[in-house]
Amino acid sequence: MLLNYEINPSIIRILKKEKFDVVIFGGYTSLTVKLAIIYCKITKTPLIMWSGSTLRDEAIGIRNIFLPLIKTILRLSDAYVVYGTWAKDYILSFGINPEKIFIAINMGDVDSFLEESIKLKGKKEAIKRDLGLERKYNIIYAGQLIKSRKGVEYLLDAFIKLKQEYYDVGLIIAGEGPQKEELIAQSKNTSDVNFVGFVQPKKLPAYFLAADIFVLPSFFDRFAIVISEAMAAGLPVIATDTNAASIDIIKNGLNGYVVKGHDSNEIYKKLKKLLKNPDKIREMGKNSQEMIKNDFNQDKTLQGFLDAINYVLNKP
């Protein structure tokens, strides 16, 4: 939604009562947010903008109409917390001082995924049996099935080609969406393609554990949390260069590969490269999990917010 005309008038009462030291807000479309910004400027309460917008956003052309509004809100903010590198570049494009921008990688609840995956460790074959996925290798996609955004048809093309060379490999497609029937038709002559529907987050670690490689072929994602969830589950990850998360948390050759968008052959080549070297699958999966433990966890995300808060409270 470009503009949100709903308003919660109680926001002023809450701000007056609580007397917050700092207010963090997200987005600029809500009238409630605009009301809070005005109040904070009147009371000289520091404002931190939390943003995931990027220069590659699919709606960027429409946003240009509202550039004066965006620039005003950016100017009124005292600091900025952003999802990752692309979001930082977006804020910088408005001439904002880089010292005011703090990265808090948008990771979601990866700690729970990590804990559950460690708990299930050693039960891979039993889980595969319970889920009816008893094959030597499983590739998994988890997300919406939307043709204009997610690119699952390119992953399916790559898998169909791969299946001609590797008979004991399967593809798990976890998700729902308007493209589902089209994808089912696309895969009708290929065995071992499992459409498992929407999987509740608490059950997703089991599906990840049953898999060996995670692929996200999307055309655009601001910051797909599912990549970090797959990493927490100990999977090597393949994602497109049109996904903001790819730039920050996938290290080519270390824990996965970044491939070009709209290119099934690139996905096929990376999948084949991994299947030819099972040790590499295990090594990259281990690296993924270690990166979540050490570099991309909720504590690191929280630190980005704390750095921004300390900045606005202590600036001259």
Confidence grade of residue 63 (pLDDT, cut at 50, 70, 90): low
Which pTM does this prediction carry? 0.92
| Beta carbons within 10 angstroms of residue 19's beta carbon | 8
The string of pLDDT tens digits covering residues 213-266 is: 999 999 988 889 999 999 999 999 999 999 999 999 999 999 999 999 999 999
**Second CATH level (architecture) for the domain 110-294:** 3-Layer(aba) Sandwich (3.40)
- Residue 222 is predicted with a pLDDT of 83
Q: Inform me whether the pLDDT recorded for 181 exceeds 90.
A: yes
User: Where exactly are the structural domains of the chain?
Assistant: 10-106+298-314, 110-294
What is the spatial distance between Cα 2 and Cα 10, in angstroms, rounded to a whole number?
A: 23
In the DSSP assignment, the letter for residue 188 is T
| Beta carbons within 10 angstroms of residue 71's beta carbon | 12
- Residue 273 is predicted with a pLDDT of 98
List, in sequence order, every residue forming a beta bridge with 47; answer none if it has no partner. Answer: 23
What CATH superfamily is the domain 10-106+298-314?
A: Glycogen Phosphorylase B; (3.40.50.2000)
Both tokens assigned to 20: 């917050």
Q: Inform me whether the pLDDT recorded for 4 exceeds 80.
A: no
